Amino acid sequence: MTEKGIRLIVGLGNPGERYRNTPHNIGFEVLDTLAERHQLRFRRAFGLQAWGATWQVEGSTVRVLKPRTFMNRSGVAVRKAMRRWKISPEEMLLVFDDVAFPVGRLRIRKRGGAGGHNGVTSVIQELDNLEDFPRLRLGVGPRPSGDKLIDYLLGAWHPEKETEVSKLREQGADALERILREGLTPSMNHFNSGTPDN
C-alpha cells in the first residue's frame, strides 16, 4: 500500500505562560522551532480551538496546529481540524513528549497506543478509538519514580538540561522536515536507530 503524505501536523502541549519550557510542552516547542525556520505565523484558528499555521512544502499545503484546549482535551481540536480539511488519520502526524525515552531520543511510528499519555488518549478517543495515525515521540525521560510524574512533566526543565532540550527542539524540527521531504519510512530508518547528529 502506498504511504500517504502528511497534510496535518499537530503538536501537543498546554496553553499559557506557566507551562512554557516544561517537558509536557515539547510538542508545542518543536512546532515553534519549525515555524521560526520557515517563517510560519501561528494565528488563532477560529472554530478549531487551536492556533494554526500553513506550511507550503514542495507544492503541497501542510497545516500545522497547536490545540488551545488543555492536554487532556487535545483530541477535540484534532477531530475538528481533520473534518474541516478532510484529512484522514494516516495523513495526520502527532508530535508529543514521551518519558519512555531519555532527553534527545526521537522515535517515529506509523501507529500505536497512547502509552499513558493523556493528550494521545484524547486524540484516540475523538477518532473513535482509532490508533492508526503517525506520531513523532520526543524523549523527555527518564521517567521519575513513584507519584512524581505529573510534577515533573508540568515543572520547568532543570537548567542543566537546557542544552539537551534545545538540541531536542532542533532535532524534532529536523525530523518533521525529513518526514515531509522523504516520507515516514525513510525517516524512521534515519531516526529510530538512535539520535543522529545530522
Q: Would you name the residues annotated as active-site residues?
A: 24
Q: Which residues, other chains included, contact 14 with Cβ-Cβ below 8 Å and sequence gap of 6+?
A: 22, 24, 25, 70, 71, 154
* Cβ(120)–Cβ(136) below 8 Å: no
106-109 β-sheet, strand order: 43-45, 50-57, 60-67, 8-11, 92-102, 135-141, 106-109
